[in-house]
Amino acid sequence: MVSQRITVIRFKYIFIFLSITLIAGSCQNFSETSNPSHQKPKVKKPHYRVFVLGLDGFTWALAKPWMEQGKLPKLKKFTDENAWGNLQSVPPYNSPTAWGSAITGVNPGKHGVYSFFQSQQLRNDFTKRQIYFINSFNYQVPFIWDILSTLDYRVIAINVPGSSPPQPLNGYMIAGQPYLEGAPVTYPNSLIDSLPDFRIEEFSYYCEEGKEDTWLKECYEIERGRVKTMFQLMKQDNWDLFWAVLTSPDRVQHHFWKYMDPNHPLYTPEKNKKYGDEILKIYRYMDEVLGRLLSELPDDVVLIIMSDHGFGPVYKTINVADFLFGDEKLTDMIARTVKVNYNSFFTGSFYINLRIREPYGTVNTEEYEQVRDYLLDKLKNLKDPDTEQPVIDKIFKREDLFSGPYSYMAPDIFCIEKPTYLFSGIKVKPDGKMIENFPSFAISGGHRPEGIIAIGGKPIREHTNLTNSQIADITPTILYLMGLDIPPYLDGFVLDQAIQKDYIQVHPPKTSGTQTSTDREQLDRLRKLGYIK
């Protein structure tokens, strides 16, 4: 693990150096003060400070009706007066992957994270893999705070998923889950001693039946402490970018959707009476936080409200084990050809057991497309026996979704289920129930591709509906608002439809340098120079 981290760190900081070299042309007269942490670079272009309020799993599907009913007044007023719309997430629509694209500006094929989990071959036995939670060292490109810190911009980041352990930056960081065991939670380490309200999120991710009250109490205590910490740091530091993520909407929607939705197979009138408003309550708490934030943010700040993905109900489970072993030909093939994504229990991701990639790989390169095409066909024709309707909405090969030097780490096949269905790999042994109502111990609300975005501030257009916004657009948009050029390796674009036309005309987005080769060619050159292995 140590050598892996050194390799990743070495590559990331080479990448940061190249990025800053390109961006630096837009900045002049850097301060040479002995206390650079509170100094700003002098830039030729006007620049705005930016506050990103991340609401994990927040969805317009619930928020819009509640806004119209007057239940979310602050969010209603903010969206009425500013720019807002859907924010398209990235497959497989989980937090480390999606937030990773938000804070790097690239697709997963470049940042290299597809799940909460990673695996690596064991050094003493190359036929086996070790599975571990991802951490901040797994991301292969600079975070936005890496870029800004190198340019002397001040950054504060709180609870961004995938940011543990917190790496050095010009500012403060409180890491988000999953936490790397034994690593500090804050940067600098001493920061945690000055945060009386902060609590590490250690409560159970799954809410067991009969323990809802205790679970909710823990959830709110942690989130309220996080909010208090957010306002404490917001007031006491002269920051340029502040990025905070509140995760309680995701947690509550996963577990309490069944109590809100009369169509859910686990819905009961008794549970609805007691817990049916819990999702609305957490949305109203987010609205309350937004109201206070709007009253306390300075005028030179652009506020970006966003979520990493949307949400919706899960009524039925597609059991992967039964799907794979339910077909005679697949059963004959399965032992040597296909495996479920080791990275996640709840995604429709499949890896072919490729000889040149997997420890026990058995499929030769020339067989790969034949095996994959057969599996694709079976997935396309997978139907719910109760309705005789397809359960797969869209199905992709890896090359359809991802590009970059780390796209080889992506699943060979990725499926997007029809609404209300969810792939599950929890059941290891088949029992003949390929599609069934969701078991009571598991989640009843699941992720959707469309998150939210809403932007407000002096250079932002009023009364504007944003279309075709992508989660990778967040980083280039922030860099633009702060008066910086856009690195050419980014996949995202400046959300110019959110910016006032007069401002765009005077300050058009610019890309620093030119991209003369592919990312893979750049990596090959770095390998030849000995910078990465």
Question: How far apart are the C-alpha atoms of 260 and 408, rounded to whole Å?
Answer: 40
Give the integer Cα–Cα distance in Å for 130 and 119.
5
pLDDT, residue 343, reads 44
Q: Is the pLDDT of residue 45 over 70?
A: no
pLDDT at 337: 56
Question: What is the per-residue pLDDT for 204?
Answer: 67
Read out DSSP for 374-430? HHHHHHHT-EETTTTEE-EEEEEEHHHH--STTGGGS-SEEEEEPTEEEEE----S-
| 191: amino acid identity, one letter | L
How is residue 95 written in tokens? 């937090």
**Beta pairing, strands 450-456 & 83-88:** antiparallel
Which residues does 2 contact at the CB level (< 8 Å), separation at least 6? none
Q: Cα(293)–Cα(319) distance, rounded to whole angstroms?
A: 43
Token duo for residue 210: 């009969």
Domains of the chain: 44-110+142-312+448-506 (3.40.720.10), 314-443 (3.30.1360)
User: How high is the pLDDT of residue 361?
Assistant: 76
Containing H/E element for 311?
A: strand 310-319
Q: Residue 101 pLDDT > 80, yes or no?
A: yes
* Residue 60, phi then psi, degrees to nearest 5: -65, -25
Between these two residues, 493 and 33, which has the higher pLDDT value? 493
- Higher confidence at residue 322 or residue 56? 56
Q: Give the tens place of pLDDT for each residue, 437-470.
A: 765 556 899 999 999 999 999 999 999 999 999 9
3-class DSSP assignment, residue 317: strand
What is residue 329's predicted lDDT score, i.e. its pLDDT? 62
Beta strand spans in 445-491 (E): 445-448, 450-456, 464-470
* 355, amino acid identity: R
Confidence of residue 12 (pLDDT cuts 50, 70, 90): low
Q: What is the pLDDT of residues 265-312, one digit of tens each?
A: 999 999 999 999 999 999 999 999 999 999 999 999 999 999 999 999
Give the tens place of pLDDT for each residue, 54-63: 999 999 999 9
Q: What is the phi/psi pair of residue 8, to 5°?
A: -65, -45
Distance separating alpha carbons of residues 188 and 186, to the nearest angstrom: 6
Long-range contacts of 372-379 (CB under 8 A, 24+ apart): 372/397, 372/412, 372/413, 374/329, 374/330, 374/333, 375/330, 375/338, 375/350, 375/413, 376/413, 378/323, 378/327, 378/330, 379/348, 379/413, 379/415
Mean pLDDT over all residues of the chain? 84
Question: What pLDDT digit, counting tens, does each position of 474-511 carry?
Answer: 999 999 999 999 999 999 999 999 999 999 999 999 98
Task: Write the pLDDT tens digit of every residue in 141-200.
Answer: 999 999 999 999 999 999 999 999 999 999 999 999 988 888 999 999 999 999 999 988
Rounded CA gap, 271 and 260, in Å? 9
Given this model, what pLDDT does residue 296 score? 97
Residue 10: predicted pLDDT: 39
Distance CA 337, CA 354 (A): 7
- pLDDT of 118 reads 74
Q: Which of 293-297, 359-363, 528-532 has the lowest mean pLDDT?
A: 528-532
